Structure 1
């Protein structure tokens, strides 16, 4: 029996997707209205912190070819298919914590988070 190592492309998967709370949608809309030419935000991940990965938010003036688009009430959140294995199913919220206002990510794939809440790890499936 001959075994072959296969390859896959993240775009070949059916994703559960991401959801935006109304507070997150409102904040994204406010950010895009302040800067002409900004279409929305892009959510990604990068290797970071003590738990493995961190969330990255950037403004989007031009979508990437592999971006998936999630929308709510006119707010646009772009996500690269490369990030989806780490954040699929995540709810994006915008909350007030004391004097701070921050985006929060409720990620069902996060198996552990660091003490400061800035990074997360995922378990291989």
Structure 2
């Protein structure tokens, strides 16, 4: 288990994650973030509750909130800021990802160029 800052959370995102975890009627109390294939742009962000941290997961701790990052998503999410946005007719998490190269018109899927391991070293 590695503690890292692959992703940062805004104060509004921290508040919302805390609210979701507190309201969860499940025993699963950890939020897991990943990237999956799908949508018109090719990829979309995934979020789910998990009950334990799996081997290989990256742990992000910030201001009392713990989330885990799927190891397959790490190179796609480096440098991302997670925000929670409320608009007139919708509300939800928004990922401000510097690796995003395009997004579909509806905003549900994205194209992301992962950072290569060579760029990290």
The normalised TM-score by structure 2 is: 0.83
Aligned pairs for 1:50-69 within 5 A: 50-69=40-59
RMSD of aligned alpha carbons = 1.7
1:58-92: CA deviation from partner (whole Å, max 9, x where unpaired): 01211111111112222121101211121111100
Runs of 4+ residues over 6 Å off in structure 1: none
Query: Does the 8 Å CA contact 1:29/1:40 hold for their aligned counterparts?
Result: no
Higher Cα radius of gyration: 1
| Equivalent residues, number | 111
- Secondary structure of the residue that 1:83 maps to in structure 2? helix
Q: Could you say if the C-alpha distance between residues 16 and 34 of structure 1 is closer, same or farther in structure 2, counting changes exceeding 3 Å?
A: closer
Query: Does the 8 Å CA contact 1:94/1:104 hold for their aligned counterparts?
Result: yes
Question: Are 2:16 and 1:27 aligned?
Answer: yes
Q: Distance in 2 between matches of 1:16 and 1:62?
A: 19
Query: Does the 8 Å CA contact 1:28/1:40 hold for their aligned counterparts?
Result: no
Q: Distance in 2 between matches of 1:117 and 1:83?
A: 19
Give the aligned partner of residue 71 of structure 2. 81
Query: Does the 8 Å CA contact 1:40/1:75 hold for their aligned counterparts?
Result: no
Q: Which runs of 5+ in 2 are unaligned?
A: 117-121
The normalised TM-score by structure 1 is: 0.80
Q: Which runs of 5+ in 1 are unaligned?
A: 1-14
